[in-house]
Amino acid sequence: MRPLVGLPLLLRLAGAVMGALLLAACGASRQNAPDAAAEKAFKVVTTFLPITLFTRAVAGDCATVTPLIPASAGPHDFQARPGDLTALRQARVLVKNGLEMEAFLDKLVASAGNSQLKVIDSSRGVATLETEDHGDAHGKEHGHHDDHGSAHGHEHGAVNPHIWLDPLRAVQQVETIRDGLVKADPSCADGYRRNAAAYTAQLKQLNSEISDQLQPYRGKTFVAFHHFAPYFAQRYGLKAEYLVDVPEINPTPADLNRVAAEVKRSQLQALLSEPQEGNRSFNALAKDLGVKVVVFDPMETATEEASRDPSTYMKLMRRNVAGLRQAFGQ
């Protein structure tokens, strides 16, 4: 009979194997922990860039924020994907701009069938400007109600939706998002309030900066490609002329003549174009008039990286003001 001198060695080997298995199991559970946390996180879906920036600023670490529209595609270019319905079914909250900017949204939400989904309309309570004739940046202002009328073909609806380009209206949007998230997720109420307070302080500071920089140009007219700037113009005492109502429309000869006359009258040094806009007729018009084309970003699209940083709003607005001062011949 062979002696059992190998038994202690076997026991040690078995112990080592068991220890390795336990470590592997612990490692696996730690590795999976973030996934589990993400699975249980309070899920919020947003629509397009400014709403995503505002919501991420308020949400902080309290919620996961997923944009419905990719950062590189604006609301005018939205094409629904199967994953959008999944995102809406899993979300607790949907945040939108409102004012018919997301005309596709109602059908999509209905198709998702999520009866628990709370919708935050960030335009609620914001004073709006009616869509009126070309060149009227000071449209009739009125309190915003839930019923905004129907969209007119390819044009914006009865109300211009670009409220986020006025930093003080953006403050109202952020506060509405804050209140909606606090109500939907009271467990992180203090976090939402703290985050919103910090961000609105930045927006108010931004407004003060822009007011100071544009003070010398009050009463002047600027010309943009599409009708995105009446709220910005009203806030800073400017007038906004535009070539077309929404980017998809091709300008008519009458549009081009109207804008050419305004550029000559106001002695503008540049036309304002959007970063993604390559309209040949607009560029040709600038060349004919002997003026430059400078960028004013309406913040409907951005890079994926920029869309993750709430300070993108401040950076782009400061850049916009620099371009506008250039157009005024600074």
Token pair for residue 226? 């599409």
Reduced DSSP (H G I as helix, E B as strand, rest coil) percent helix, strand, coil of the chain, to 5: 50, 15, 35
In a domain? residue 135: no
133-142, 161-170, 293-302: which has the minimum mean pLDDT? 133-142
Query: Where residue 149 falls among pLDDT bands split at 50, 70, 90?
Result: very low
Please check whether residues 98 and 173 belong to one and the same domain: yes
Please check whether residues 251 and 228 belong to one and the same domain: yes
Please check whether residues 195 and 257 belong to one and the same domain: no
Q: Which residue, 154, 176, 210, sits at the end of a domain?
A: 210
Contact criterion met (CB below 8 Å) for 298 and 238: no
In a domain? residue 21: no
Q: Residues with Cβ < 8 Å from 276, sequence gap 6 or more?
A: 74, 301
Please check whether residues 190 and 265 belong to one and the same domain: no
Please check whether residues 66 and 110 belong to one and the same domain: yes
Residue 144: what pLDDT? 42
187-231 pLDDT, tens digit per residue, is 999 999 999 999 999 999 999 999 999 999 999 988 888 788 999
Q: Is residue 177 predicted with pLDDT exceeding 70?
A: yes
Percent of the chain having pLDDT more than 70?
78
Alpha helix stretches (DSSP H) within 41-166: 49-59, 82-90, 105-112
In a domain? residue 198: yes
In a domain? residue 143: no
β pairing state of 270-273 and 292-295: parallel
In a domain? residue 1: no
Q: How far is 69 from 71, CA to CA, in rounded Å? A: 6
Number of folded domains in the chain? 2
Distances (CA, A) of 150 to 110, 129, 146, 158, 161: 19, 15, 12, 7, 13
Please check whether residues 105 and 60 belong to one and the same domain: yes
Please check whether residues 295 and 222 belong to one and the same domain: yes
- Which residues span the domain enclosing 92? 40-122+163-210
Please check whether residues 188 and 251 belong to one and the same domain: no
In the DSSP assignment, the letter for residue 122 is T
In a domain? residue 46: yes
Q: Point out which residues pair with 121 in neighbouring strands.
A: 96
In a domain? residue 140: no
Token pair for residue 157? 């609806």
Token pair for residue 212? 């100071």
Please check whether residues 107 and 201 belong to one and the same domain: yes
Please check whether residues 229 and 182 belong to one and the same domain: no
Query: Where residue 286 falls among pLDDT bands split at 50, 70, 90?
Result: confident
The pTM assigned to this predicted structure is 0.80
Q: How far is 289 from 262, CA to CA, in rounded Å? A: 11
Q: Give helix then strand counts, H and E, for the chain.
A: 11, 10
In a domain? residue 263: yes
Nearest CA to 185 out of 116, 114, 87, 111 is that of: 116
Please check whether residues 51 and 194 belong to one and the same domain: yes
Q: Which residue, 210, 231, 247, sits at the end of a domain?
A: 210
CATH, residue 55: 3.40.50.1980
* Upper half-sphere CA count for residue 69 (Cβ side, 13 Å): 29
Please check whether residues 322 and 238 belong to one and the same domain: yes
Q: Is residue 122 predicted with pLDDT exceeding 90?
A: yes
